[in-house]
C-alpha cells in the first residue's frame, strides 16, 4: 500500500512537471493593487477630521476593528456621511465653541469607528459604544439613524449620549476624578447585574441610570453624558422620581462632577449643556446628505 501511494505521488509530480513545462509565464500579477483614489467622502473626512484633529474616521467594516463575538453589519455610506456631519456639528464644534480647538486636538480619540448594527448581548442588552484606552471610540447602530428627519431624542439615546459617555471615559482615564466620588454610593454598585434594576429603582438608589450601577467609572461618565444632552426639566423630573434620599445622592455626585470638570479641564458643564442643546435644536436645518 505504501509503495502504491508513493508511486502515485511520483506520477502526479511527473505529470505536474510536464504540465508546468508547457505553461507560459503571464506578465500580469494575480495580486490586485488595493489602492484606490479617495472618494469625495474620504476627502471630506480628511479635511474635517484627520487634518485638523488627527482623527481617523473609519466607516468601512474591518475585522480587526470590530469584536468577533458579535454578528455585526457595516454602516451604510449615506448613514456614515450623516453621522460624520452630526458628530462634527454637535460634538466637535460644541467643544470648540466652549473650550477652544486646542482641547480636542490634544485629547480627542485618534479613531472614530462606525458600525451599522448594534452589538447585541445574550442578556438582552445592546452595546451602543465603546472606548479603548483613550484612543478609539466605536459607535454602533449607525444604520438606525434617520438621515432625512433626524430625531434628537433618538440621537441622544443611541449616539450622542454614547459619544459624551465614551469621551468622559477618555478624560478620567487621562486625569482621574476625586476618590470621594466612589464613597457616595459605595455599596450600590452591582457589576453585570445592573440590567436587573429598573430606571426608577436606580434613581431612588442615587444613580442617574441603571447602567450607572455597573461601576464607579460608569456612574461618573453616565452623569456627565445625561447632564449634557438633557434639559433641566428632564433632570428635575429624574430627581423627583429619585425621592429625597436618591435626589440628595445624585446632587452630591453631580457637584463632584462639576468641580472635577472645571478644575481639571476648565469645562463648565452647564455652559457645555447650553451649547449642545442649542445646536441640537438646529439639526433639522442641517444638510446631512451633501458634501
The 3-state secondary structure of 192-241, one letter per residue: HHHHHCCHHHHHHCCCCCHHHHHCHHHHHHHHHHHHHHCCHHHHHHHHHH
Do 188 and 275 fall into the same domain? yes
Nearest-angstrom CA–CA distance, 72 and 74: 7
Give which of 242, 236, 195 is closest to 214, Cα–Cα.
195
Sign of CA dihedral 173, 258, 253, 243: negative
Do 145 and 189 fall into the same domain? no
Residue 28 predicted with pLDDT over 50 = no
Residue 23 counted as domain residue: no
Residue 27 predicted with pLDDT over 80 = no
Region of poorest pLDDT, from 29-38, 45-54, 179-188: 29-38
Residue 235 counted as domain residue: yes
Residue 206 counted as domain residue: yes
What is the value of pTM for the model shown?
0.81
Q: Which of 101, 134, 149 is the last residue of a domain?
A: 149
Region of poorest pLDDT, from 8-12, 263-267, 278-282: 8-12
pLDDT at 94: 96
- For the chain, the domain total comes to 2
Beta strand pairing call for 136-139 and 129-132 = antiparallel
Residue 31 predicted with pLDDT over 90 = no
The burial class, CB within 10 Å (0-12 / 13-18 / 19+), for 36 is exposed
If you compute the radius of gyration of the chain from its CA atoms, what whole number of angstroms results? 26
Do 106 and 200 fall into the same domain? no
pLDDT at 130: 75
Give which of 197, 203, 200, 213 is closest to 250, Cα–Cα.
203
DSSP assignment of 67-117 equals: -TTS---PPPHHHHHHHHHHHIIIIIHHHHHHH-HHHHHHHS-SEEEE-SS
CATH number reported for the structural domain that contains residue 259 in this entry: 3.40.390.70
pLDDT at 241: 98
| Structural domain of 95 | 38-149
Region of poorest pLDDT, from 11-25, 117-131, 146-160, 234-248: 11-25
Do 245 and 144 fall into the same domain? no
Residue 60 counted as domain residue: yes
Residue 254 counted as domain residue: yes
Q: Which of 108, 134, 149 is the last residue of a domain?
A: 149
Region of poorest pLDDT, from 30-39, 72-81, 126-135: 30-39
Residue 135 predicted with pLDDT over 90 = no
Nearest-angstrom CA–CA distance, 249 and 158: 26
Do 211 and 133 fall into the same domain? no
Residue 18 counted as domain residue: no
Q: Which of 109, 134, 149 is the last residue of a domain?
A: 149
Greater pLDDT, 264 or 23: 264
Do 60 and 126 fall into the same domain? yes
Do 129 and 45 fall into the same domain? yes
Mean of per-residue pLDDT scores for the chain: 85
pLDDT at 181: 98
Region of poorest pLDDT, from 85-89, 95-99, 108-112, 267-271: 108-112
Q: Which residues pair with 261 in a beta bridge?
A: none
Do 62 and 112 fall into the same domain? yes
Phi-psi bin for 191: left (phi > 0), alpha (psi -120 to 50), beta?
A: left
C-alpha cell at 112: 472614530
Do 190 and 256 fall into the same domain? yes
Residue 267 predicted with pLDDT over 80 = yes
pLDDT at 125: 72
Do 50 and 140 fall into the same domain? yes
∠59-65-70 over CA atoms, to 5°?
A: 100
Beta strand pairing call for 56-58 and 111-114 = parallel
Amino acid at each position: 500500500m505504501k509503495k502504491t501511494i508513493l508511486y502515485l505521488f511520483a506520477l502526479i509530480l511527473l505529470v505536474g512537471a510536464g504540465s508546468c513545462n508547457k505553461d507560459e509565464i503571464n506578465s500580469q500579477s494575480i495580486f490586485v493593487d488595493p489602492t484606490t483614489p479617495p472618494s469625495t467622502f474620504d476627502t471630506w473626512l480628511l479635511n474635517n477630521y484627520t487634518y485638523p484633529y488627527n482623527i481617523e474616521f473609519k466607516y468601512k467594516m474591518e475585522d480587526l476593528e470590530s469584536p468577533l463575538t458579535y454578528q455585526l453589519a457595516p454602516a451604510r455610506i449615506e448613514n456614515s456621511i450623516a453621522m460624520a456631519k452630526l458628530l462634527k456639528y454637535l460634538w466637535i464644534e460644541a467643544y470648540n465653541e466652549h473650550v477652544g480647538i486646542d482641547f480636542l486636538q490634544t485629547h480627542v480619540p485618534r479613531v472614530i469607528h462606525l458600525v451599522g448594527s448594534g452589538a447585541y448581548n445574550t442578556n438582552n442588552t445592546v452595546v451602543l459604544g465603546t472606548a479603548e484606552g483613550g484612543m478609539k471610540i466605536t459607535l454602533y447602530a449607525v444604520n438606525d439613524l434617520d438621515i432625512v428627519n433626524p430625531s434628537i431624542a433618538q440621537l441622544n439615546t443611541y449616539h450622542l449620549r454614547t459619544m459624551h459617555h465614551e469621551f468622559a471615559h477618555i478624560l478620567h482615564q487621562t486625569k482621574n476624578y476625586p476618590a470621594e466620588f466612589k464613597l457616595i454610593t459605595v455599596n450600590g454598585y452591582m457589576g453585570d447585574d445592573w440590567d436587573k434594576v429598573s430606571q426608577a429603582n436606580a434613581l431612588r438608589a442615587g444613580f442617574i441610570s441603571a447602567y450607572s450601577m455597573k461601576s464607579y467609572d460608569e456612574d461618573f461618565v453616565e452623569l456627565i453624558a445625561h447632564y449634557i444632552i438633557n434639559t433641566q426639566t428632564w433632570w428635575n423630573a429624574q430627581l423627583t422620581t429619585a425621592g429625597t434620599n436618591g435626589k440628595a445622592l445624585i446632587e452630591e455626585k453631580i457637584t463632584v462632577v462639576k468641580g472635577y470638570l472645571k478644575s481639571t479641564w476648565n469645562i463648565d458643564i452647564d455652559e457645555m449643556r447650553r451649547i449642545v442643546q442649542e445646536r441640537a435644536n438646529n439639526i433639522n436645518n442641517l444638510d446631512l446628505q451633501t458634501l
